[in-house]
């Protein structure tokens, strides 16, 4: 079952229109150029209590009408096997801090400034094309870390796999111990992506494409 978007009728139509554009801007992948996405630490802030709403729109919680603060970003991509074949039924989870640097976690920093409208966590199950999509905010730095979005990929018969996605060209990246811990430049590039203005976006929305190349194809 696919998670629903949880948006009002009008917003939902607008959201889906944005999705089409986001997919069109996603670059093609060539099998011979595939770099396996490096694994990164899960970190301490995977929600210790999941939100009531775990859909793929992190900007609105359930039927809320006030969106989260931050730069609206459509983050999409594909979950692929080592040969570039799409992986379906992969559970993709993301979590990140809100615009004020607070996670959805009881031990987060900046708890007093938490944005109550930000969902902080979302989930999407890939279809046969291996695609996932989230609407969220462009990640921001918090003390000790360059901006990043945490990812977990869960597949039947496999252990939970985690990584982090970074903003290409961000000045904080070269100073970030976890980003730098990936020594191979190609692998680092694989987790560092453009957050670019979405073509024809009415309100300055951004789009980022992050494909994840796993080291294996799951048994079906
Ligand atoms: Fe983090």
CA 44 – ligand 1 centroid, Å: 8
- 148 CA to middle of ligand 1, Å? 6
What pLDDT does residue 157 have? 87
Distance 80 CA to ligand 1 centre (A): 24
Ligand 1 mean position, distance from CA 147 (Å): 8
Query: Which pTM was predicted?
Result: 0.86
**Residue 23 in this model has a pLDDT that exceeds 60:** no
What strands lie across the sheet with 91-95, from one edge to the other? 121-125, 91-95, 148-154, 161-167, 192-193
Alpha-helical regions (H) of the chain: 9-24, 177-180, 185-190
Exposure string of 187-209, with b = 16+ CB inside 10 Å and e = fewer, is ebebbbbebeebeeeeeebbbbb
Residue 187 Cα to ligand 1 middle (Å): 19
**CA-to-CA distance for 200 and 24, rounded, in angstroms?**
12
Query: What is the pLDDT at residue 26?
Result: 45
| Distance (Å) from CA 200 to ligand 1 centroid | 31
- 96 burial (CB, 10 Å; 0-12 / 13-18 / 19+) is buried
Contact 77, 94 (CB under 8 A): no
Pairing of strands 196-197, 148-154: unpaired
178 CA to centre of ligand 1 in angstroms: 10
Question: How much is the pLDDT for 206?
Answer: 98
Question: How far, in Å, is the centroid of ligand 1 from the Cα of 137?
Answer: 14
* Those residues with Cβ within 8 angstroms of residue 65's Cβ, 6 or more apart along the chain or in another chain: none
pLDDT surpasses 50 at 89: yes
Confirm if 6 and 16 have CB atoms less than 8 A apart. no
**pLDDT at site 33:** 66
State in Å: Cα 2 to ligand 1 middle: 26
Q: For 92-102, what is the mean pLDDT?
A: 98
Q: How far is the CA of 8 from the centre of ligand 1 (A)?
A: 30
| pLDDT in the model for residue 28 | 52
Residue 24 C-alpha to ligand 1 middle, in angstroms?
A: 29
Q: What is the pLDDT of residue 16?
A: 45
Q: What's the pLDDT at 217?
A: 76
In the predicted model, what is the mean pLDDT of residues 184-195? 97
Banded pLDDT at 220 (limits 50, 70, 90):
low
Q: What is the mean pLDDT of residues 58-67?
A: 95
- pLDDT tens sequence across 119-146: 999 999 999 999 999 999 999 999 999 9
Q: Angle at the Cα of 132 (from 141 to 135), degrees rounded to 5?
A: 45
């Amino acid at each position: 079952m696919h998670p629903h978007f949880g948006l009002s009728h009008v917003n939902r139509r607008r959201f889906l229109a944005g999705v089409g554009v986001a997919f069109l801007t996603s670059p093609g992948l060539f099998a011979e150029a595939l770099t396996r996405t490096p694994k990164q630490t899960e970190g301490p802030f995977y929600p210790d209590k999941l939100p009531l709403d775990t859909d793929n729109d992190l900007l609105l919680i359930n039927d809320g009408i006030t969106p989260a603060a931050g730069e609206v970003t459509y983050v999409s991509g594909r979950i692929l096997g080592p040969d570039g074949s799409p992986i379906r039924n992969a559970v993709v989870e993301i979590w990140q801090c809100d615009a004020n640097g607070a996670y959805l976690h009881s031990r987060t920093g900046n708890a007093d400034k938490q944005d109550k409208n930000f969902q902080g966590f979302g989930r999407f199950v890939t279809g046969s094309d291996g695609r996932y999509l989230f609407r969220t905010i462009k990640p921001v730095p918090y003390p000790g870390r360059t901006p990043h979005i945490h990812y977990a990929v869960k597949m039947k018969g496999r252990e939970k796999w985690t990584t982090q996605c970074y903003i290409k060209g961000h000045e904080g990246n070269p100073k970030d111990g976890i980003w730098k811990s990936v020594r191979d430049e190609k692998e680092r590039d694989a987790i560092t992506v453009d957050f670019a203005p979405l073509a024809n976006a009415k309100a300055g929305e951004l789009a980022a494409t992050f494909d994840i190349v796993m080291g294996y194809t799951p048994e079906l």
